[in-house]
């Protein structure tokens, strides 16, 4: 087994909302749709000197010799997916993240900070988006650099300092460079999407704080008797969201790493996606949970 480190661009692309796809279309039709998307992504990788490292479910991981090739492949993927006819009444969409940096190659796979950062960029993206880093934009050729715009400086798991996040403006075709030059930095905002049962709340400038507890007056009312009347609150501070526990029994917080920790009379930064359970573990039978997803979206003027 041999390994070596080198600089390259790592890209992750997956089908947005694939779980809903299976629910709406059924297993057979949804599988056909996902396989179609995977085939489109693989073809784009090959067209721009890339290598498919692996596919996992509805996700493709690919490696490219430089940042330009990764951006061009990502743009090709989005254009081809957006041109596909709907499957039933569902229009396929993919989300893409990539990053240029040093990675360790071992037996045809890649490891290291560049891989983790690329995966996090894909996690920030929504369906139809291509997200990358400021460091990757700096490695692009001047013409392609003009097809990007700054989004925000965000906290990324495993990074001590915030990472400059950028979006690739792929939708404008031949007018891409002109649009990017005239548009300037995007006005964006960080939001937190909270789901409790069938209800969803979005925390943004208009809703900077959410209270959670057994009392019906709260934004999210919990029926579990282990929850306190005012169990906790989520606060939006600049572009970050903090959960503050105010309860007797504590809040069980699960972040993206899958590790559940107990927060009692303390606070925790909510990153990426995860869930909250009130007074006991989310693994308990009949546990009542609130799931959360941190997102970035354009800000209305």
Quick one: 158 and 209 in the same domain?
A: no
Q: How do residues 260-296 score in pLDDT, each as one tens digit?
A: 999 999 888 887 789 999 999 999 998 999 999 887 7
CATH number at residue 80: 3.30.70.1230
Residue 94's nearest CA partner among 75, 108, 120, 109 is: 75
Share of the chain above pLDDT 90, in %: 49
**If you average pLDDT over residues 292-301, what whole number do you get?**
72
Last residue of a domain, one of 153, 186, 219: 186
- The torsion angles phi and psi of 254, rounded to 5 degrees, stand at -115, 120
Q: Biggest alpha carbon distance in the chain?
A: 61
Decide if 188 contacts 298 (C-beta within 8 A): yes
Quick one: 31 and 170 in the same domain?
A: yes
The pair of structure tokens assigned to 196 is 């409790």
Answer yes or no: is pLDDT of 223 > 90: yes
- The torsion angles phi and psi of 179, rounded to 5 degrees, stand at -60, -45
Number of domains in the chain: 2
Q: How do residues 39-65 score in pLDDT, each as one tens digit?
A: 999 999 999 999 999 998 889 999 999
What pLDDT does 179 receive? 35
Q: Which domain holds residue 223?
A: 190-298
Answer yes or no: is pLDDT of 161 > 60: yes
Label residue 77 by pLDDT band (50, 70, 90).
very high
Answer yes or no: is pLDDT of 181 > 70: no
CATH number at residue 268: 2.60.200.20
Output the average pLDDT for the chain.
85
Label residue 182 by pLDDT band (50, 70, 90).
very low
Quick one: 225 and 200 in the same domain?
A: yes
Quick one: 85 and 173 in the same domain?
A: yes
Which has the higher per-residue pLDDT, 206 or 249?
Answer: 249
Which has the higher per-residue pLDDT, 177 or 265?
Answer: 265
Answer yes or no: is pLDDT of 149 > 80: yes
Last residue of a domain, one of 160, 186, 212: 186
Quick one: 38 and 167 in the same domain?
A: yes
Quick one: 179 and 207 in the same domain?
A: no
Share of the chain above pLDDT 70, in %: 87
Quick one: 164 and 214 in the same domain?
A: no
Q: What is the DSSP letter of 9?
A: E
Quick one: 156 and 245 in the same domain?
A: no
Quick one: 161 and 49 in the same domain?
A: yes
Decide if 66 contacts 98 (C-beta within 8 A): no
**If you average pLDDT over residues 11-36, what whole number do you get?**
86
Q: How do residues 226-266 score in pLDDT, each as one tens digit?
A: 999 999 999 987 777 899 999 999 999 998 768 899 999 98
What pLDDT does 173 receive? 41
The pair of structure tokens assigned to 47 is 């067209």
Decide if 17 contacts 93 (C-beta within 8 A): yes
What pLDDT does 160 receive? 56
Quick one: 182 and 156 in the same domain?
A: yes
Quick one: 165 and 249 in the same domain?
A: no
Quick one: 177 and 219 in the same domain?
A: no
Last residue of a domain, one of 152, 186, 220: 186
What pLDDT does 185 receive? 44
Label residue 150 by pLDDT band (50, 70, 90).
confident
The pair of structure tokens assigned to 32 is 């056909």
């Amino acid at each position: 087994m041999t390994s070596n480190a080198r600089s390259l661009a790592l890209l992750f692309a997956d089908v947005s909302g694939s779980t809903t796809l299976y629910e709406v279309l059924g297993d057979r039709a949804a599988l056909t749709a996902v396989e179609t998307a995977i085939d489109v992504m693989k073809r784009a990788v090959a067209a721009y000197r890339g290598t498919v490292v692996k596919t996992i479910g509805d996700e493709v991981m690919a490696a490219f010799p430089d940042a330009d090739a990764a951006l061009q492949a990502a743009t090709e993927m989005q254009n081809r997916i957006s041109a596909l006819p709907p499957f039933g009444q569902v229009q396929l969409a993919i989300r893409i993240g990539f990053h240029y940096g040093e990675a360790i190659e071992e037996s045809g796979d890649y490891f290291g900070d560049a891989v983790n950062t690329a995966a996090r960029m894909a996690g920030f993206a929504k369906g139809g988006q291509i997200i990358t880093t400021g460091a990757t934009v700096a490695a692009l050729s001047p013409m392609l650099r003009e097809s990007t715009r700054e989004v925000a400086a965000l906290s990324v798991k495993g990074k001590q300092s915030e990472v400059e996040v950028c979006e690739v403006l792929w939708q404008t075709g031949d007018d891409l460079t002109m649009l990017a030059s005239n548009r300037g930095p995007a006005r964006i905002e960080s939001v937190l999407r909270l789901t409790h049962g069938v209800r969803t709340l979005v925390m943004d400038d208009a809703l900077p704080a959410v209270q959670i507890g057994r009392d019906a007056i709260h934004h999210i009312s919990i029926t579990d008797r282990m929850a306190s009347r005012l169990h906790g609150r989520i606060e939006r501070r600049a572009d970050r969201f903090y959960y503050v526990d105010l309860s007797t029994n504590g809040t069980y917080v699960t972040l993206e790493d899958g590790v559940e920790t107990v927060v009692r009379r303390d606070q925790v930064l909510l990153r990426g996606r995860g869930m909250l359970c009130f007074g006991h573990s989310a693994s308990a039978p009949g546990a009542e949970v609130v799931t959360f997803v941190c997102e970035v979206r354009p800000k209305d003027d």
